[in-house]
């Protein structure tokens, strides 16, 4: 019997984010791939500043409405606490609150963390309690059941935390380098090299028209993945709001041990600050950036196009538009309700950013062989929550390549049999904030509003 890796003398990974780098790490360690040539290509030198895996911080939580993700996140946390970049992981807790329909996510997530055996969970019954337990500044809630700062119901999980995302990615990159198995290339993939008569992908064509050949190509290009494969109705890039507020040393000290606060009704959260920078962000439906591109699967010379949402980042667009004011205002409002002393409207952010999620219909990742093209595997669809799985996701990907997708995720991670129009996507129930906002239209509204 031929073992599967014999089919893969060479593997090419597109993208050096969470999915791509973790996969390269696992392939380097996995004895079944000991003779495989491994190449990792990214359009940016590492660490790619506009990728979604590089930032000051990412929440590390087992708090999920789906027990499968609770279990996998708990497994990842055991590693974050011990052997996986532990100096970049901080367990300061996460308070999850809501006051609308998102409440059911809070309830389900609480049930899962309790079921899974976390003993450091505290339920929060009122705005006053949320304030006290989370160390928020006292500001008079209008009534005791609802405060903008705390929401009306929720809980804090002291077993959750956050990681310095860039620090942890750099740590992992060094680990991969130490194993000396991966060839790293900086270059932009223009398209997959598809043979349409055999429906086989044999590697990629780069922007300078040179080619890279591999027996297995892994598409892990994050929010850019839909530019290289037709993923309409399956994956789309959504832009999420981030602002950073510089803190003084004493301000930093005052809030350094407070939990991250996430309001699922608005999607807004304030992550425990680090290195004198406080980050406020919105885990929301996000902005889309509709872009017309040549159909990524069309034969060369065809003039077929598709229109999809793609990232626009400070490295890819010529404009330097800051985050839309609507989002800046919302972040400022949350700050005002949580830390009034830091929220003076004239106090400038040090930086704003739009960071791009690779959203999927139900918030499940996309980790599977392509159903039509042989030699193509997908490891993408992070849907705004993949970072915490950095210590374990490579193993999940490689097991799935070998036809052993983790039991818990069968029926979740496969390439969907049907494409579902984006308006009908259900999501995972964890998003708040405005829906269906096109980035360019938001800027336009803003410009008109100012005239």
Ligand X SMILES: *[C@@H]1O[C@H](CO)[C@@H](O)[C@H](O)[C@H]1NC(C)=O
Ligand Y SMILES: Cc1cc2nc3c(=O)[nH]c(=O)nc-3n(C[C@H](O)[C@H](O)[C@H](O)COP(=O)(O)OP(=O)(O)OC[C@H]3O[C@@H](n4cnc5c(N)ncnc54)[C@H](O)[C@@H]3O)c2cc1C
CB-CB contact of 165 with 51 (8 Å): no
Among 149, 222, 259, 267, binds ligand Y (CB under 6 A): 222
Q: Rounded CA gap, 383 and 236, in Å? A: 9
Q: Rounded CA gap, 96 and 123, in Å? A: 10
List strands edge to edge, sheet with 161-163. Answer: 58-60, 161-163, 89-90
Q: Rounded CA gap, 81 and 92, in Å? A: 12
Q: Which is nearer to ligand Y, 343 or 360 (CB)?
A: 360
Residue 189 contact among ligand X, ligand Y, none, beta carbon within 5 to 8 Å by kind: ligand Y
Stretch that binds ligand X, among 69-77, 149-157, 169-177, 247-255 (CB under 6 A): 149-157
Strand segments, DSSP code E, in 45-137 are 58-60, 89-90, 94-98, 121-124
Q: Does 195 bind ligand X (CB under 6 A)?
A: yes
Q: How far is the CB of 367 from ligand Y (least distance, A)?
A: 11
Residue 302 contact among ligand X, ligand Y, none, beta carbon within 5 to 8 Å by kind: ligand X
Q: Rounded CA gap, 325 and 345, in Å? A: 12
Q: Does 291 bind ligand Y (CB under 6 A)?
A: no
Among 16, 215, 272, 400, binds ligand Y (CB under 6 A): 16
* Sequence-separated (6 or more) residues with CB below 8 Å from residue 300: none
Q: What is the H or E stretch that residue 155 is in?
A: strand 153-157
Q: Does 197 bind ligand X (CB under 6 A)?
A: yes
* Strand pairing class (235-246; 277-282): antiparallel
Q: Which is nearer to ligand X, 10 or 265 (CB)?
A: 265
Residue 182 contact among ligand X, ligand Y, none, beta carbon within 5 to 8 Å by kind: none
SS3 182: strand
CB-CB contact of 30 with 182 (8 Å): no
Q: Rounded CA gap, 90 and 330, in Å? A: 27
Q: Which is nearer to ligand Y, 127 or 280 (CB)?
A: 280
User: Which 310-339 residues touch ligand Y, going by CB under 6 A?
Assistant: none
Among 52, 99, 352, 430, binds ligand X (CB under 6 A): 99
Q: Does 15 bind ligand Y (CB under 6 A)?
A: yes
Q: Rounded CA gap, 388 and 61, in Å? A: 7
Residue 385 contact among ligand Y, ligand X, none, beta carbon within 5 to 8 Å by kind: ligand Y
Among 151, 222, 296, 324, binds ligand X (CB under 6 A): 151
User: Which 388-427 residues touch ligand Y, going by CB under 6 A?
Assistant: 388
Dihedral (C-alpha) 71, 73, 78, 80: value to the nearest 10 degrees? 170
User: Which 27-86 residues touch ligand Y, going by CB under 6 A?
Assistant: 41-44, 48, 51-53, 58-59
Footprint of ligand Y on this chain (CB under 6 A)?
A: 14-20, 41-44, 48, 51-53, 58-59, 188-189, 220-224, 228, 240, 242, 281, 355-358, 380, 382, 384-388
């Amino acid at each position: 019997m031929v073992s599967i890796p014999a089919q893969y003398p060479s593997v090419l990974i597109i993208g050096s984010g969470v999915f791509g780098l973790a996969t390269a790490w696992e392939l380097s360690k996995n004895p079944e791939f000991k003779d495989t040539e491994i190449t990792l290509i990214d359009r940016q030198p590492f660490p790619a500043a506009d990728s979604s895996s590089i930032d000051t911080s990412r929440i590390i939580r087992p708090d999920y409405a789906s027990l499968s993700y609770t279990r996998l996140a708990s497994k990842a946390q055991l590693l974050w606490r011990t052997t996986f970049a532990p100096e970049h992981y901080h367990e300061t807790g996460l308070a999850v609150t809501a006051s609308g329909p998102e409440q059911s996510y809070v309830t389900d997530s609480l049930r899962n963390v309790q079921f899974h055996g976390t003993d450091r969970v505290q339920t929060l019954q009122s705005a006053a309690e949320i304030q006290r337990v989370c160390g928020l500044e006292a500001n008079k809630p209008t009534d005791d059941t609802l405060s903008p700062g705390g929401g009306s119901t929720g809980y804090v999980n002291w077993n959750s935390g956050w990681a310095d995302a860039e620090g942890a990615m750099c740590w992992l990159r060094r680990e991969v380098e130490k194993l000396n198995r991966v060839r790293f290339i900086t270059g932009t993939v223009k398209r997959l090299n598809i043979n349409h008569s055999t429906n086989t992908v044999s590697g990629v064509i780069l922007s300078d028209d040179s080619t890279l050949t591999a027996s297995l190509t892994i598409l892990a290009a994050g929010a850019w993945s839909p530019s290289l494969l037709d993923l309409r109705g399956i994956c789309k890039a959504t832009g999420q709001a981030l602002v950073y507020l510089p803190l003084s040393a004493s301000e930093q000290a005052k809030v350094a041990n407070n939990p991250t606060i996430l309001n699922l009704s608005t999607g807004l959260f304030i992550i425990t600050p680090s290195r004198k920078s406080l980050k406020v962000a919105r885990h929301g439906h996000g902005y889309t950036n509709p872009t017309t591109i040549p159909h990524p699967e069309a034969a060369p010379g065809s003039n077929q196009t598709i229109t999809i949402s793609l990232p626009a980042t400070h490295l890819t667009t010529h404009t330097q538009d800051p985050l839309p004011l609507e989002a800046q205002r919302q972040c400022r409002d949350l700050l005002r309700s949580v830390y009034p002393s830091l929220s003076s409207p004239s106090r400038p952010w040090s930086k704003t950013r739009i960071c791009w999620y690779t959203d999927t219909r139900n918030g499940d990742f996309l980790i599977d062989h392509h159903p039509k093209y042989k030699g193509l595997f997908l490891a993408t669809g992070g849907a705004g929550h993949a970072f915490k799985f950095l210590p374990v996701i490579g193993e999940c990907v490689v097991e799935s390549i070998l036809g052993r997708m983790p039991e818990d995720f069968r029926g979740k991670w496969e390439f969907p049999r049907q494409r579902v129009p984006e308006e009908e996507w259900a999501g995972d129930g964890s998003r708040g904030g405005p829906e269906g906002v096109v980035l360019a239209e938001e800027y336009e509204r803003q410009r008109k509003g100012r005239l």
